[in-house]
C-alpha cells in the first residue's frame, strides 16, 4: 500500500529546475554554470602542444595540424559523443557515469555481466575525483601566470596569489553559491565574447588559418611526424577537458538548453579563439613566434588590455573551479545514496534549490589536495601532464558504457552500434594512450587518486553487503516476533521507530531494546529507507507501509539517489501507519554496528580494516536522516564479516 500527498519541496525544486523557465533563459544560465571547465582550456591547451613536455616545431605544418586536431576533437568528442549521443541517455533527466550505470542496471537487471558496467561506472567516478583536484589548480594557476606576460617581475607572486584564490574558493563553499551564481552567466558570456573577439581579430589578419578546418591537415601532421604527432594528442585533448562534466550537469538545465548554449554560442567562441591563436603564431617571424608560444592566449590581446584579460580569465577559472567542486559534491551524494560511499555530513546551502549542497569532508580533502598540487608541480605546464589521464580515462569508460547502452537499452542493431562505438574507442583510446606516456611526468597522480578512490568505493560496497548478509542470517521474522512479543513485554504510550537497513527480519536495535528495557511502545514501526536507481521518486510513491497487527507496522520510504533523505518530512506524508506521527511522542532507535575479527573473513584483512575505519568515521544515521537529536536512542551491536 502507498499513500499520496502534496509534492514535497524537493519535487517543487525539481519542477523549477526542470525546466519551467524558457529555453533561452536556461541556455543563458548553463553558460555560467556548465561550460566553465571547457571554456578555460584555451588559456593553456594550444600552448601545451607546442611548449609542453613534447614541444613541436613552430611552423605552418604543425600549427595547421594542431588547430585541425582541436577542431575535429571538439566535434567528435564533445559535439557528437557527449552533446548529441550521451545526452540522450538521461536517467529521468540526470546524467553522469553513476546515473548512466543506474539506467543500464535498471534495464538489464542483475545479469551475470551487469557487475562489469557497475565497476566501470565506479572507476569513472573515481577518476572524476582526480579531475576535480587538478581542474582548480591548473585553471587558476594558468590564469594567474598571465601576470608574467604583463610584467615578468611578477613571477614570484604567481604561486602565492593562486594559493590565496584557491583557499578563498574552498572557504566560500560552506556559504553556498546561490547569490554568487547569479553573476556567473553574465561574467562567462563576457568571457566567451572576449575569446571570440580576440580570435576574430587575428583570423582577419591571417585568414589562411581557416584551411585547418580540412581534416587533411591533421592527417598530414601524423603522416609527417608519426610518433611526435601521437604524443601531441596528450596536449590536444586539453581542449576538450570538461566534456564529461557537461553530461554530469545535464540535470540542472536539460539537454535542449545545453545543446543550444553549446552549438549556438560556446563552441563557436572557443573555436574562434583557437583558430585565432593559430593565426597569430603563423603571422609572426620565427623569433617572435617562439616567444609568443609561451603564453599565446594573453599575447593575443593588445598590451594595454592584457592586465584586464588576466583579471577576466582569473574570474572565469574561479567560476570553472566552482562548478567542478559542486560536481564533486553532487557525485558524492549519488555515490552515498547508491551505497558506494559511507554516510557523510551533507549540508544544504539553499532553502529552495535541493541540488545546492556542501559536503565538508569532500571540500577540505579537495582543498588540501589542490594546495599540495600547486606546491608540488609549481606551474600549469607541469600540471597539464597530470590532467589528461583523468579526463581521457573517464571519457573512454563512458564510451564503453555507451556501447552497453546502445546494444542493451536502446536495442540498436549491432551493425549500427559497432561502427559508432569502434570510432569513438579509436579516438578516445588514442588520446588515453598518448596521455599514458606522461605517467612519470605527473600522470601518476590522477591514476593514484583514481585507484585509491576505487578501492574505498568498492571496499565500502562489498563490506556493506557482507554486513547485511551476516545480519540477515540471524534475523528473526517480524511476524513471529510480533506474535511472541505482544504478551511478553509491557506496552507503554508513544511511538517507537526502529531504523532497519533491510525490509525483512527484526532490527537488532528492537531485539536489544526488549532484552534490556523489557517494554514496547503502543506503536512500533520498523522503518527502512530505500534508495532507488532513479534520481527522484514521485511523492505519490514515497511511502509504503504494511500493518502487521498488534500495533506493529513495517514502513518503507523511497528516495531517489539525488534526493535528501529527510525521514521526519517523509513520515508527515504517512498517516495510515496507526495515525499521524507526533515527533514529540516519537522515539527513534538506531543500531550502531561494531565489527569483530572473523576467522573466515569475507574479504582480505586489509580491506576489512579499511571498511572498519570507514564505518567508524561515517556520519551517524541521526544526522544523515535528519532525525530530531533529542528523540534518538542508539543501541550497539556486534557483527562479523
* Chunked mean pLDDT (size 10), the chain, 641 residues: 35 40 80 86 91 84 95 94 87 77 76 77 88 90 89 88 92 71 84 96 95 94 91 90 81 83 95 96 90 92 92 91 84 86 80 68 93 90 83 89 86 88 92 89 88 92 85 72 74 89 80 82 90 83 85 88 85 78 88 73 84 86 85 77 65
- Kindly list the distances between the CA atom of residue 204 and the CA atoms of 270, 289, 291, 384, 479, in Å, as whole numbers in the listed order: 16, 18, 22, 30, 81
Cα 466 from Cα 474, distance rounded (Å): 13
Same-domain pairing of 482 and 455: no
Q: Please report whether residue 19 resides in a domain.
A: no
DSSP character for 6?
S
Q: Grid coordinates standing for 224?
A: 609527417
Q: Find residue 91's DSSP bridge partners.
A: 94
Residue 300 has a pLDDT of 93
- Burial class from Cβ neighbours inside 10 Å (0-12, 13-18, 19+) for residue 477 reads exposed
Residue with cell 605546464: 381
Same domain, 39 and 170: yes
Which residue, among 291, 271, 273, 231, has the nearest Cα to 62 in the 3D structure? 231
Residue 3 lies in a domain: no
Residue 635 backbone dihedrals phi, psi, to 5 degrees: -120, 135
Is 354 a member of any domain?
yes
3-state SS of 311-361? HHHHHHHHHHHHHHHHHHHHHHHHHHHCCCCCCCCCEECCCCCCCCEECHH
pLDDT, residue 200, reads: 97
Buried b or exposed e, range 605-632, using 16+ CB within 10 angstroms? eebbebbbebbeebbebbebbebeeebb
Residue 221 within a domain? yes
Q: Could you give the CA distance from residue 397 to residue 153 in angstroms, rounded to a whole number?
A: 44
* CB atoms near residue 488 (< 10 Å): 9
Residue 475, classed as helix, strand or coil, is: coil
Please tell me the total count of domains within the chain.
2
Q: How far is CA 233 from CA 72, 217, 381, 571, in A?
A: 12, 14, 15, 55
**In contact, 162 and 237? CB cutoff 8 Å:** no
- Which residue, 432, 461, 490, sits at the end of a domain? 461
Find cell 549521443 and name the residue. 85
Both 348 and 455 in a single domain? Answer: yes
Same domain assignment for residues 562 and 429: no
Query: Using alpha carbons only, what angle is made at residue 546 by residues 545 and 552, rounded to the nearest 5 degrees?
Result: 110
Is 339 contained in some domain? yes
Do residues 301 and 309 lie in contact, with contact meaning Cβ atoms separated by under 8 Å? yes
**Same domain membership, residue 426 and residue 291:** yes
The residue among 413, 437, 461 that closes a domain is 461
Same domain, 393 and 451: yes
Domain ranges, residue 445? 34-461
**CA–CA gap between residue 509 and residue 591 (Å, rounded):** 5
**pLDDT the model gives residue 14:** 38
User: What's the distance, Cα to Cα, between the start and end of the chain in Å?
Assistant: 35
In this structure, is residue 582 part of a structural domain? yes
- Going by C-alpha positions, the residue among 532, 523, 476 that lies closest to residue 500 is 476
Amino acid at each position: 500500500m502507498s499513500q499520496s500527498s502534496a509534492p514535497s519541496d524537493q519535487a517543487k525544486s525539481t519542477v523549477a529546475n526542470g525546466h519551467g523557465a524558457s529555453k533561452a533563459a536556461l541556455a543563458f544560465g548553463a553558460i555560467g554554470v556548465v561550460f566553465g571547465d571547457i571554456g578555460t582550456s584555451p588559456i593553456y591547451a594550444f600552448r601545451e602542444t607546442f611548449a609542453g613536455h613534447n614541444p613541436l616545431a613552430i611552423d605552418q605544418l604543425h600549427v595547421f595540424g594542431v588547430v585541425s586536431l582541436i577542431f575535429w576533437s571538439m566535434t567528435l568528442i564533445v559535439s557528437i559523443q557527449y552533446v548529441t549521443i550521451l545526452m540522450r541517455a538521461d536517467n529521468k533527466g540526470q546524467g553522469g557515469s553513476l546515473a548512466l550505470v543506474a539506467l543500464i542496471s535498471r534495464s538489464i537487471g542483475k545479469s551475470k555481466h551487469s557487475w562489469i558496467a557497475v565497476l566501470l561506472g565506479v572507476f569513472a567516478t573515481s577518476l572524476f575525483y582526480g579531475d576535480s583536484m587538478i581542474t582548480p589548480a591548473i585553471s587558476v594557476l594558468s590564469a594567474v601566470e598571465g601576470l608574467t606576460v604583463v610584467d615578468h617581475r611578477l613571477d614570484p607572486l604567481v604561486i602565492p596569489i593562486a594559493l590565496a584564490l584557491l583557499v578563498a574558493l574552498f572557504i566560500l563553499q560552506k556559504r553556498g553559491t546561490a547569490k554568487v551564481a547569479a553573476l556567473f552567466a553574465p561574467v562567462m558570456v563576457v568571457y566567451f565574447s572576449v575569446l571570440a573577439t580576440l580570435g576574430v581579430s587575428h583570423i582577419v589578419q591571417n585568414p589562411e588559418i581557416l584551411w585547418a578546418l580540412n581534416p587533411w591537415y591533421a592527417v598530414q601532421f601524423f603522416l609527417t611526424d608519426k610518433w611526435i604527432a601521437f604524443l601531441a594528442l596528450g596536449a590536444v585533448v586539453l581542449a576538450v577537458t570538461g566534456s564529461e562534466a557537461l553530461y554530469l550537469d545535464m540535470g540542472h538545465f536539460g539537454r535542449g538548453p545545453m545543446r543550444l548554449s553549446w552549438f549556438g554560442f560556446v563552441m563557436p567562441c572557443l573555436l574562434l579563439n583557437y583558430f585565432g591563436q593559430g593565426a597569430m603564431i603563423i603571422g609572426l617571424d620565427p623569433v617572435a613566434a617562439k616567444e609568443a608560444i609561451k603564453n599565446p592566449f594573453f599575447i593575443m590581446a593588445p598590451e594595454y588590455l592584457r592586465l584586464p584579460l588576466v583579471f577576466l580569465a582569473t574570474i572565469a577559472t574561479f567560476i570553472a573551479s566552482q562548478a567542478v567542486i559542486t560536481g564533486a559534491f553532487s557525485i558524492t551524494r549519488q555515490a552515498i545514496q547508491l551505497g558506494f560511499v559511507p554516510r557523510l555530513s551533507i549540508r544544504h546551502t539553499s532553502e529552495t534549490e535541493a541540488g545546492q549542497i556542501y559536503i565538508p569532508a569532500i571540500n577540505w580533502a579537495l582543498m588540501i589536495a589542490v594546495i599540495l598540487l600547486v606546491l608540488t608541480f609549481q606551474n600549469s605546464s607541469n600540471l597539464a601532464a597530470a590532467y589528461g589521464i583523468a579526463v581521457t580515462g573517464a571519457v573512454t569508460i563512458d564510451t564503453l558504457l555507451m556501447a552497453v547502452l546502445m546494444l542493451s537499452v536502446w536495442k540498436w542493431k549491432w551493425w549500427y552500434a559497432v561502427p559508432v562505438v569502434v570510432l569513438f574507442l579509436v579516438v578516445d583510446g588514442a588520446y588515453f594512450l598518448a596521455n599514458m606516456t606522461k605517467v612519470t611526468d605527473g600522470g601518476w597522480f590522477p591514476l593514484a587518486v583514481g585507484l585509491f578512490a576505487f578501492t574505498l568505493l568498492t571496499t565500502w560496497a562489498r563490506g556493506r553487503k557482507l554486513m547485511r548478509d551476516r545480519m540477515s542470517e540471524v534475523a528473526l521474522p517480524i511476524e513471529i516476533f510480533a506474535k511472541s512479543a505482544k504478551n511478553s513485554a509491557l506496552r507503554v504510550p508513544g511511538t517507537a521507530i526502529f531504523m532497519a537497513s533491510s525490509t525483512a527480519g527484526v532490527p537488532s536495535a528492537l531485539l536489544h531494546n526488549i532484552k534490556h528495557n523489557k517494554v514496547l511502545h503502543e506503536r512500533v514501526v520498523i522503518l527502512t529507507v530505500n534508495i532507488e536507481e532513479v534520481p527522484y521518486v514521485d511523492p505519490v510513491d514515497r511511502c509504503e507501509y504494511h500493518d502487521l497487527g498488534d500495533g506493529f507496522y513495517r514502513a518503507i520510504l523511497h528516495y531517489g539517489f539525488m534526493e535528501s533523505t529527510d525521514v521526519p518530512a517523509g513520515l508527515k506524508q504517512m498517516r495510515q501507519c496507526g495515525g499521524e506521527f507526533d515527533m514529540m511522542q516519537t522515539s527513534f532507535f538506531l543500531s550502531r554496528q561494531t565489527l569483530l575479527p572473523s576467522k573466515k573473513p569475507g574479504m582480505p584483512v586489509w580491506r576489512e580494516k579499511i571498511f572498519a575505519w570507514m564505518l567508524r568515521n561515517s556520519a551517524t544515521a541521526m544526522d544523515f536522516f535528519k532525525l530530531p537529536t533529542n528523540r534518538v536512542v542508539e543501541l550497539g551491536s556486534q557483527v562479523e564479516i
